[in-house]
Structure 1
Amino acid sequence: MPLLPVWSRFRASEWVLLGFFGYVAILVPFFPNRTRLGNQPVFLLAGVLILFCCFSLAEQGRLARNVNRIRDWIPLGLILVAFREMELFVPSHYDLSYEAAWIRWDRLLLYNWHLRALVESLGPVIPVYLELSYLFVYGIGAYCVLILWFTNGRKGIDSFYVLYLLGTLTAYALFPYFPSLPPRIAFPQIAPPDIITPVRTLNLVLLNGLTIHSGVFPSAHVSSAFSASWAMFLLLPGRKRVGWGLFLYAVSVSIATIYGRYHYTADVLSGIAVSLVPALVAVCMRVGWPFAGRAAVAAAETESRIE
């Protein structure tokens, strides 16, 4: 098998990741007031590029098949890296101007339209379900990849990542422009849940220890969940129950983020809007315009060469 240029063997999803890390590196001089921000994004971009080059080269050797399968999981780790990178954009202070505008919608939804009362009408049943929905969103990417591994022969994994990354990373990319605190911190007295479940306690512990503080707008929880559903509608057209199940799950996540005071209603609506970007790309993939599912084609060609 002839050696190919390293960059020619990058997966489409890897190009999306490089685009995001490159974008963040370009942002550095435009945010001089973010005291934690230095040259870290440049070094991180270089590290990710080197990582992809190493895997691309390794896939041309004797361990090609194993390396090819390992690459199916690399984006999940790099999503976490991208998320943590946003912590570099934490402002020196929050003036709460965004939050003051957004909280009005929450008052309307939770008080006037009685969302909180509706959620708690059956005691802890619905709150537990919603908190679990919020918790499990961290594993939705791995869940979808496993489905494609075992039901679709790994076909479409790269295309899934393209759509999932577009929805997730686009939300991350907007965080620096909207420095904000979540409603549970900025307005702890406004419509907090009256029912505290063990799952909520776990979510709060995880958030207090692991979350970032650069912003909450738009909601990446919401955008990633909807993006996953759009991707599975595209990639498993014969198993629409998977796509519909994920869609209903994404709706549950949306409600959970508002009820649990993890996000504002504005965050949720903007997260849904962000997910329309991968939805549009999915439609383009389906109809073959403008790139005719180039990501899936490239992945299939790579697998055929390895086999």
Structure 2
Amino acid sequence: MLSGYALLLHASRHPNRWIASARDWLPLPLMPLAYRQMGWFAPANHSHTLEQSWIGWDRMLFDWGFGRAIESLGLLLPALLEASYLTVYAVPTFSMAYLALTGRGGRMNHFLTVFLAGIYMAYAQFPFWPSEPPRTLYPGLDAPTVDTVFRRLNGHFLGVHGIHTSVFPSAHVSSVFAAAIGMRRAAPENPFIYRGLFLYATAVALATVYGRYHYSVDALAGGCVAWAAAALTGRIWPCSTTRPR
């Protein structure tokens, strides 16, 4: 953290293209640190009051056939959704690499401003909504009946690196929708990229509920956080009108 501040101070006094590029990439290693710090706010004991009110909406959703519809094609959709959830962590790297490799490095701020706002606005709410995921609080209830390697990897990763502060709102959902909005601003001339990210974000939202990583209200709130971040940052970095270099 201190080295990051030192780099920013040096960059402000001695403008340099390489330092500016390093500054753009600096937030990526800081995001896991921010996530882990949210774990410090985990309560000693959860009352589960919030979860008891949220699970009713999920039960209704699954009674309507949500899980059966996803598993109707066998392994295909469950594997795609679990893989989408697993690869969320690569989205900022992919997005920034695309901008850098296509001559749009000068537009990083268009992407980063809304993306970071989307993820940190979700993190900041964790202490106010103490809760645990349905996969651990209600094991077996509406759980997927199709097992995939991606689901096992997700379970292992969350078991090792997960925190026990809150699941509301879903930072997975807020971050990927914010990334899609950010790419819409940074690369509006390439709709294939940002439309693909919006489709991917929808898959992630479905995966959070289907895999029982989150309650449906978490996913919905995560999407709302992303659009709130877009509204708050829109005046700072609207859609780019400059041509890529």
| TM-score normalised to structure 2 length | 0.92
Distance 1:287 1:173, change over 3 A: closer
User: Partner letter of residue 72 of structure 1?
Assistant: D
* Residue deviations 1:141-198 (CA, integer Å, cap 9, x gap): 1111011101133021122111001100000000001111100011113100001111
Q: Distance in 2 between matches of 1:60 and 1:279?
A: 27
SS of equivalent residue, structure 2 residue 105: coil
2:130 paired with 1:179:
yes
Residue 107 of structure 1 is matched in structure 2 by 59
Residue 109 of structure 2 is matched in structure 1 by 158
2:191 paired with 1:249:
no
Residue 17 of structure 2 is matched in structure 1 by 65
Distance 1:238 1:98, change over 3 A: same
User: Partner letter of residue 148 of structure 2?
Assistant: T
TM superposition shift of 1:285: 4.5
* Residue deviations 1:50-101 (CA, integer Å, cap 9, x gap): 3343113433688933322222211011111110100100101011100000
User: What runs of 5+ residues in structure 2 fail to find an aligned partner?
Assistant: none
Residue 265 of structure 1 is matched in structure 2 by 216
Contact 1:58 1:64 in 2 (8 A): no
Q: Distance in 2 between matches of 1:287 and 1:56?
A: 24
Q: Distance in 1 between matches of 2:30 and 2:112?
A: 12
Q: Distance in 2 between matches of 1:94 and 1:61?
A: 48
Work out which structure has the larger RCO, using CA pairs closer than 8 Å and 6 or more positions apart in sequence: 2
Residue 159 of structure 2 is matched in structure 1 by 208
Contact 2:185 2:238 in 1 (8 A): no
User: Partner letter of residue 261 of structure 1?
Assistant: R
* Residue deviations 1:270-306 (CA, integer Å, cap 9, x gap): 1011111222145435669xxxx9xx99xxxxxxxxx
User: What runs of 5+ residues in structure 1 fail to find an aligned partner?
Assistant: 1-47, 298-307
Distance 1:215 1:60, change over 3 A: closer
Q: What value does the CA root-mean-square deviation take over the aligned residues?
A: 2.1
Contact 1:130 1:252 in 2 (8 A): yes
Distance 1:138 1:286, change over 3 A: closer
User: Partner letter of residue 197 of structure 1?
Assistant: T
| TM-score normalised to structure 1 length | 0.74
2:31 paired with 1:79:
yes
Residue 122 of structure 1 is matched in structure 2 by 73
Percent identity between matched residues is 37
Contact 2:109 2:237 in 1 (8 A): no
